[in-house]
Chain A
Amino acid sequence: DAGITQSPRHKVTETGTPVTLRCHQTENHRYMYWYRQDPGHGLRLIHYSYGVKDTDKGEVSDGYSVSRSKTEDFLLTLESATSSQTSVYFCAISEPPYEQYFGPGTRLTVT
């Protein structure tokens, strides 16, 4: 299995609070991705990174920001959490591009 960890694995937070999710890889892969998974919507790409400090938006980026200051870490921040951001969040990595390997996920509940 690819060396990908996500933290925290579970989080409950209140509406309006900032939240940061961390994805850490030990594979030295160049590409990293953040997805959310919701019933009836499948997997939706939030943001992705193609190198240190190089990021771009996915299809559902509103309300989310990301940062990648090191190859191994990709952070997803919800600046002010809303109930609509209750979801399961997955990080993925790839090198070369296309074939993606996924982390175990973070279950986020916004109350």
Chain B
Amino acid sequence: AQSVTQPDIHITVSEGASLELRCNYSYGATPYLFWYVQSPGQGLQLLLKYFSGDTLVQGIKGFEAEFKRSQSSFNLRKPSVHWSDAAEYFCAVAADSNYQLIWGAGTKLIIKP
């Protein structure tokens, strides 16, 4: 069965420091992968997606993610975080059928001033 693991429930990063959020998936074929962000009290916003091609994908708000098939990973990165990046981040993979997404549990990003 497909699954998504986000190993870190919380991550604390200083403002201006680099960020990497981890996502591991379980899927037999080439997956469709997504990162979403949810600010407090808001809905989820799509940050970026990977369907095929270049394994380094660029998203909105200065985020990027790299698909590594050998590691079954799709980690999210940002070179320098801003206080406004404090939010919860969700990784998701498209299910085999029924057009559903399989969601990770989320990682809450805390920014230290």
Give chain A's interface residues, CB within 8 Å of chain B: 31, 33, 42-43, 45, 48, 50, 56, 58, 90, 92, 94, 97-105
Do B32 and A98 touch across chains, with their CB atoms under 8 A apart? Answer: yes
A30 to chain B, nearest CB (A): 9
Using a CB–CB cutoff of 8 Å, the interface residues on chain B facing chain A are 32, 34, 36, 42-46, 49, 90, 94, 98-101, 103-106
CB within 8 A of B46: which of A31, A101, A104? A101
Which B residues lie within 8 Å of A92 (CB)? 44
A102 with B99: CB separation less than 8 A: no
Rounded to whole Å, the gap between the CB of A43 and the closest CB of chain B is: 5
* Chain A residues in 8 Å Cβ range of B36: 102
Minimum CB–CB distance from B59 to chain A (whole Å) comes to: 12
Cβ-defined partner of A105 (8 Å) among B43, B103, B106: B43
- CB pair B106–A98 under 8 Å, yes or no, is no
14 A-B pairs within 8 Å (CB atoms) are namely A31-B99, A42-B90, A42-B103, A42-B105, A58-B100, A94-B99, A98-B32, A98-B99, A99-B49, A100-B101, A102-B36, A102-B44, A102-B45, A103-B43
